[in-house]
Amino acid sequence: MATVVEIAAVAPRPLADLEMDSVLAVEAAWARRAEGVKPQTIREYLDAVAAVHARYAVRREWLRRHPQGVA
């Protein structure tokens, strides 16, 4: 059976999937923090989601400019 590292080396996950995983991680943090003493405000949540999308937009732009990858 192949390990996770071997699978990732053969077939990297699409960037959109990774972005969605990051958004889901923000949502999971939102859910955990909602039960705590200081819940997040909607603004903090939206800022965190926007930061995820901004990171992946920068990555997409880098990939567009460097289609050959890192040598």
**Local confidence band at 1 (pLDDT 50, 70, 90 cut-offs):** very low
Query: Structure tokens of 60?
Result: 């997409």
- The predicted-structure confidence for 15-68, as pLDDT tens digits, reads as follows 899 999 999 999 999 988 888 878 788 999 999 999 999 999 999 999 899 887
**Local confidence band at 2 (pLDDT 50, 70, 90 cut-offs):** very low
Domain membership flag for residue 71:
no
Residue 69, phi-psi category: left (phi > 0), alpha (psi -120 to 50), beta (remainder): left
Domain membership flag for residue 1:
no
Q: What would the DSSP string read from start to end of 31-68?
A: HHHHTSSSPPPHHHHHHHHHHHHHHHHHHHHHHHH-TT
Query: Could you tell me if 20 and 53 are in contact, meaning their C-beta atoms sit under 8 angstroms apart?
Result: no
Domain membership flag for residue 43:
yes
Our count of domains for the chain comes to 1
Question: pTM of the full predicted structure?
Answer: 0.71
**Local confidence band at 5 (pLDDT 50, 70, 90 cut-offs):** low
